[in-house]
Structure 1
Amino acid sequence: MSYYKDVREYLKKLEEVGKLTVVDFPVDKNTELTPLVRLQYRGLSEEARRGFLFTSVTNNGEEMKEISKVATGIYASSTQIYALGLATEPTNESIRKKWEEALLHPLKTKTVSSAPVQEVVITKEEMEKGRGLNILPVPLEVPGFSGQLRTTTHIITKDPKSDWVNMGNYSMHLMGKTWALWEINRGNHGWVHLLNAREMGMDYLEFAVVIGGPPVLFYVASAKVPHGVNELEVAGGLAGEPLEVVKAKTVNLEVPAHAEIIVEGRVSTKEFLVGNAFGEYTGYMATDVFMRPRMEITAITMRRDPIFVHIMSQMPPSESSKVRQISSENIYYKFLKYDCKVPGIIDVAWHELSQAQLCVIRMKKINNSHPWQVLHLAAGYEPRWGKIFITVDDDIDARDLDSVMWALGWRMQPDRDVEIIKGRFAGLDVSAYRPDAPHSEKESPNVIGSSAILIDATRKWPYPPVSLPKREYMERALQLWKKLNLPELKLKEPWYGYELGYWPKEYREDAEFVLRGDFESIGRRLIERTKNTKGI
C-alpha cells in the first residue's frame, strides 16, 4: 500500500505489524490515559514504542456516549511508526526520498461531492442545546498541571488576500460547548492569515480543525513548509496521489474527506481573551497568558462511530518531538540543496530531545567559506527555529552525538569557528526570559529577544589519518566476529581508519614494515632520521 486513505486503514496496518496496543476496558481521559501512554516515552527504547487505541474512554468515570474511542501515539511515536505512516522503509534515505518528491512535486487536491467525514453533521443549534465540543473525548495532557483541555491537531485557514490555504498544527483550547481559544505562535502562517483578515477590515477568519486524518496530513502540518505553499498539496505529494477533499458545511474551506472529525468555525480578529497554563513541547508548562483569539464553532461533522486522535506532545521524547525532528530535517535538506542550490549537502539532522534547537549539517566542504554559507542560510530559514547550528565534514555522522562531539572537540576553535547571531524570536524558549516577565521583553528585538550560535566544526586543513585499523582489517574482523556468534553490532562512524590528507611517505612506509612484522627496519630508519634532525 502506498497510501492510507484514512486512519482506520492505518490502524489495521499498525495492529498487523504488532505496533498497536488495543485497550478495551474503561480508561479515564482526564486521569489515566495520557499518564499510561507517557510511560513508554520515559521507559522504553524508541524501537519498542507503540500506538494505542482506547475503545472505552470515560470522563471522570462517566461513559463518553457519542465518541468513546481515542487513538494516540499512532503517527510518530518512533521512526519505524513514522515510516509505516508513509508506507516506506524506516531509513533516513527512504523517508527523505518521499519528502523530496512531495516538496518538489506537490499534487493538487481532488474535490468530491460527499465524504465519510460528513456522515454526521451537528449544527450550531444542536451544539447550543448541549451537543457541542463537550462530546469530544479530549484527553487531559498533563494531569495535575494542565489548566484546560486542548486539541493539538491540524487547523486549516485561507489567506483572505491570496486564497493561499494553510494547514498547521495548532491548538484549540476548549472553553465552552460552542467556543474555544486559538493558541498559535505569533509567527505561524495561520497567524499571518488572521492579521491579513484584520487588515482587510474582516471581523473573523474561517477555520476547520481536522481530527484523525491519514498520517501524511500530520506529517506535513507539523513541518515548516514555506510561505505560500498549500500543505494539503504537499500531503498529496507524500501520499503519491491527490488528497480527496470536500466542501465544509458552514465555512468556505475544503477539508479532508476521510478525516474522522472536522470542527468548523470562525476565529475573531477583534475579540481576544487571556489564556491559561498548558504543557508545551519544550518539556515545560507554558505559563505565558498572552491574549488568544476567540473561536466560535459553527458545526461539527464526523464519521459514524468516529475515532478521536490525540497527539502526544509535552516532554520529549514524544510523538510531536519525533514528527518535528523528521519533518524539519527534510524541509531544511530540501531548502539548502534545492532552493538555495548549495553544493555538497549530504544530511541535515535535527536532534529530537533538543526540540528544534540543535541542527547538525553534514557536508562535503569545497573551501573554508562554504560551511559559513550553509550555517547562515540554515539559521535564516526560520527565526523561531534553531539555537545551535553545526556544520561537520562528510566523514562525521550528523545523527550520532558522539561523532558530532568528536568533531567539536578536535576540528573547531572557539575563537575562530564560532559566531553568535542575535535578533531571533524566542517563542517558547524559557531560557530567554523569566516566565513572569512582561510580554514586551519576550519578542526580539526588544529588551531580550533570542540568539543562536553557529559552529563550523569542519577540518580547516589536511589532518593525519583516523587512528583506527584500515577498513580491510576491520572487515576481516567482522567476519571473525560473526564466526564466533558474538552479539549483533551497531557500528558507529568512524569504525575504520582512513586518511584525511596529511600522511607523509615515511609514515606510510613505516606502517608497511610493521605489518610485515619487520620492526627492526623501523629502528634502523629512525636512526637515520635522527641523524638528519636537529636535536633539542
Structure 2
Amino acid sequence: MATRANAAATAESPRVAYKDLRDWISALDAAGQLARVRAEVDWNCELAHITRRTWDTHGDASPALLFENIKGYPAPGPSKVFVGTFRSWYRTAMMLGLDPAATTRAGLLRVLRERINDRDRFLPPRVVSSGPVKQNVVTGGKVDLTMFPVPMFGERDGGRFIGTMHSVITRDPDTGWVNVGTYRMMLHNGQETGIQIDPANQHIGQHYWKYIERNEPMPAAIVIGQEPALTFMAASPTLDPVSELDIAGAIRGAPIDVVKCETSDLYVPANAEIVLEGTIHPKERKLEGPGPEYAGYYANQPGMKPVFRCKAVTFRDDPIFRATPEGHPINEDHMMLAINTSVYVTDALARAGVPGVREVAMPLDACGYGICVVSIKPATEGHADWVASAIWGTKMNIWCFKYVIVVDEDIDPWNMEQVNWSVVWRAKPSEDIKIWPRHKGSRLDPRVPPEEKGFQDRVLIDATRPYHWAPRDIWGADGVGKGIPLKFPPTSRPRSDTALRVNQRWSELGIQPTSRYIGKPEGIFKRWWEDAEIIAARDLKIMP
C-alpha cells in the first residue's frame, strides 16, 4: 500500500510512495482513474487500436486501461497488459502526491523541478535480499520472451515492441554511474530484441560507447512494470549524469527496494512485474523497425540496431505487462515528455544565465517535442534570440525544439490560443520570425526526405512586445496622455477596481454557462480574471 513520506514531506510538497505497479493500479481504481477491460482483446493490433480510440475520443478524461483477458494468453500465466498511466495531468499529480483537484500545471511543474534538482533529498535505492520479482526465474535456453502478451501496435510495424514503457538499467564500467532510460525494443525472436541506442546524445549511449571501445558486451536489465516514479524518470531527460533511481526516490519520498540480478551485478526493483536480464553486444546489429514515431508518422526507415540478448527472465506470479502505443498526439509519452522536457528546458535556461524566464511549455498538440514556448519578462534587446540559442544548445535539440516561440509574461505558454494571439499581434514577420536552415535535428521529422534525415530547419518566433520601442503618451497606462507612457499599445484586459468588484459580486449575478454550446465552456483569457492578475496589471507589475 502507498505510504506518505513523513519527515521528507512538507505541507506544500507531499510525497507518496506507491509500493509497486499493483499498488498504483489500486490507487487509480479508487480514484476513478482506471478502466478494466475484461472482454477478450487481441494483442495483434486490437489492443493498440482500443487504446488509441480511448485517447483520441476521451482526451484528458481518458482512464488508464488494464486489459485482463489477452487472446492466446490465458491466466494464470502472463495475461494482463496495463497502459495509460501518464496520459493525464491528473494521474501525474497523483504520482507526485499532489491533490489533482487543486493542482495547476505550473504548480505540478514547480514541484517536479524541485524534486529533480534538490540533490540533498535524493534517495538512493535500498538493497534487499529478495522480492516478488523473484517468484519465477527462467534462464538460459528456456527463456522465451513471447510468453508475455507483447502487443503488435500497428499493421505497418516491423514487429512486436516489447519495450515501450519500460526501464533499461545499465552501469558506467568506469565510474559506476547507473542510468535508467527508456529506449524502444523490438522482438526479433524469443531471446533477442533490437534496441534503439544513440551513443552521441543518450546516457545509455555513453555507457555503450565505453563497451564498444573495450569490445565487451554491456550488461543490461529491462524492467517492465513498476511503481510510477521510476517509469516517469526513465523517460525524462536530465542535464547531468545522475541516477534516475535516486531521483525517483526523491519524487516518492522513499527509496526503491532493489535486488541483485541473476546473471549480472546490476540491481533492479524488487517489486517489479518483469525483469529481462542480458547483454548488448558491441558490434552485433540486426534490422529493427519500422514503428510509429512520436511525430505521428512512420518517418524513419528500418535500420540496423544493436541487439539485446536475454539470458534470464524473472517475474511475479500473474505478471502485468506494461506497454504504450506510439503515434499521433496525444499519447502517454507525449504527456510525459511535455512535462519533463519543460522542466529540462527551464533548468537549461537557468544554467545558461538567461534572465527573466517565467514559464516553459512543450505543447501537447506538437507531441511534447516540436514546439517550445517560453514566457519571459524581457530585459534586453535580442532576449528571445538568447532564449532560442540556449535551448538549441542542449542535447535534447537532436529530438526537439523545431520551433521556439517566446512570449511575454502575460501569456500562458500552455494556452496555444493565447500564444497564437500573441504571435499574430506582437510579432512582425520580417523582423521577428527567424529561420536557421539545416540544423542537426530529429531524424523522425516526416517533412525531411530520407536522404536528408538528421537535419531540420529551425524557427524562432519572437512574439514579445518590441523592447527597443520608445514609450508614447498615446499609449498611457490610464488612457491617452494619462498615466505612465507605455512602449506598446495597452490591451483591453481587466485591470481596474471595477473588475475586482465584478469578481466580488459574481455569485450574486446569477450568470451561468449554457448547457448547450458549440466550442468549449472556458474563455481564452480566463486567468486574466483572477484577482491577483487584475491587481498585477492595475499596479503595472505586468504590462497591461
On whether the aligned pair clears a TM of 0.5, the verdict is yes
Residue aligned with 2:336, SS = helix
Question: CA 1:306–1:481 in structure 2 vs 1: closer, same or farther (change >3 Å)?
Answer: same
Aligned with 1:149 (options 145, 160, 168) = 160
Task: Give the match for residue 195 of structure 1.
Answer: 209
CA contact (8 A) 1:236 1:242 kept: yes
Q: Does 1:285 align with 2:298?
A: yes
Report how far residue 227 of structure 1 moved: 4.2
Q: Does 1:161 align with 2:174?
A: yes
What does the per-residue CA deviation read over 1:488-530, in whole Å, with 9 as the maximum and x for residues that have no partner? 96453374684798xxxxxx9xxxxxxxxxxxxxxxxxxxxxx
What does the per-residue CA deviation read over 1:140-186, in whole Å, with 9 as the maximum and x for residues that have no partner? 112x2222001212211122233222111112211111111113345
2:291 and 2:340 mapped to 1: Cα distance? 24
What does the per-residue CA deviation read over 1:288-330, in whole Å, with 9 as the maximum and x for residues that have no partner? 1221112110101111211111123222111111111111111
Q: Does 1:470 align with 2:495?
A: yes
TM-score using structure 2 length: 0.83
Between Structure 1 and Structure 2, whose CA radius of gyration is higher? 1
CA contact (8 A) 2:59 2:330 kept: no
Q: Does 1:371 align with 2:395?
A: no
1:469 and 1:87 mapped to 2: Cα distance? 35
Aligned with 2:77 (options 57, 66, 84) = 66
Question: Which residue identity lines up with residue 281 of structure 2 in the other structure?
Answer: S
CA contact (8 A) 1:124 1:178 kept: no
Task: Give the match for residue 89 of structure 1.
Answer: 99
Equivalent pairs counted in the alignment come to 481
Aligned with 2:183 (options 134, 154, 170) = 170
Report how far residue 344 of structure 1 moved: 2.0
Task: Give the match for residue 147 of structure 2.
Answer: 135
Task: Give the match for residue 401 of structure 2.
Answer: 386
Q: Does 1:455 align with 2:461?
A: yes
CA contact (8 A) 2:495 2:538 kept: no
1:453 and 1:499 mapped to 2: Cα distance? 35
1:378 and 1:136 mapped to 2: Cα distance? 41
1:34 and 1:185 mapped to 2: Cα distance? 27
Question: Which residue identity lines up with residue 160 of structure 2 in the other structure?
Answer: L
Task: Give the match for residue 513 of structure 2.
Answer: 487
Residue aligned with 1:197, SS = helix
Question: Which residue identity lines up with residue 258 of structure 2 in the other structure?
Answer: V
Question: CA 1:98–1:275 in structure 2 vs 1: closer, same or farther (change >3 Å)?
Answer: closer
Q: Does 1:425 align with 2:451?
A: no
RMSD of aligned alpha carbons: 2.3
Residue aligned with 1:285, SS = coil
Residue aligned with 2:183, SS = strand
CA contact (8 A) 2:295 2:328 kept: yes
Q: Does 1:28 align with 2:48?
A: no
1:14 and 1:388 mapped to 2: Cα distance? 36
CA contact (8 A) 2:346 2:359 kept: yes
Aligned with 1:41 (options 51, 55, 70) = 55
Q: Does 1:205 align with 2:218?
A: yes
Question: CA 1:30–1:471 in structure 2 vs 1: closer, same or farther (change >3 Å)?
Answer: farther
2:426 and 2:92 mapped to 1: Cα distance? 34
Aligned with 2:417 (options 385, 394, 402) = 402
Question: CA 1:329–1:21 in structure 2 vs 1: closer, same or farther (change >3 Å)?
Answer: same
Question: CA 1:65–1:16 in structure 2 vs 1: closer, same or farther (change >3 Å)?
Answer: closer
Question: Which residue identity lines up with residue 492 of structure 2 in the other structure?
Answer: S
Question: CA 1:286–1:232 in structure 2 vs 1: closer, same or farther (change >3 Å)?
Answer: farther
Task: Give the match for residue 453 of structure 2.
Answer: 442
Question: Mapping of 1:315-334 within 5 angstroms?
Answer: 315-334=328-347
Report how far residue 49 of structure 1 moved: 0.8
Question: Mapping of 1:332-347 within 5 angstroms?
Answer: 332-337=345-350, 339-347=351-359
Task: Give the match for residue 76 of structure 1.
Answer: 86
Question: Which residue identity lines up with residue 418 of structure 2 in the other structure?
Answer: S
2:388 and 2:345 mapped to 1: Cα distance? 11
Aligned with 1:113 (options 110, 113, 129) = 129
Question: Which residue identity lines up with residue 402 of structure 1 in the other structure?
Answer: E
2:493 and 2:341 mapped to 1: Cα distance? 34
1:297 and 1:213 mapped to 2: Cα distance? 19
| Bigger shift: residues 15-24 or 287-296 | 287-296
Question: CA 1:6–1:392 in structure 2 vs 1: closer, same or farther (change >3 Å)?
Answer: same
Question: CA 1:247–1:58 in structure 2 vs 1: closer, same or farther (change >3 Å)?
Answer: same
Unaligned runs of 5+ in 2: 5-15, 470-486, 515-520
Question: Mapping of 1:223-262 within 5 angstroms?
Answer: 223-262=236-275
1:185 and 1:405 mapped to 2: Cα distance? 35
Residue aligned with 1:44, SS = helix
CA contact (8 A) 1:20 1:52 kept: yes
Task: Give the match for residue 278 of structure 2.
Answer: 265
What does the per-residue CA deviation read over 1:195-217, in whole Å, with 9 as the maximum and x for residues that have no partner? 22111232x11111111111111
Unaligned runs of 5+ in 1: 444-448, 502-507, 509-536
Identity %: 31
What does the per-residue CA deviation read over 1:423-481, in whole Å, with 9 as the maximum and x for residues that have no partner? 322221121223xx3xxx423xxxxx223212222112411221244343334444555
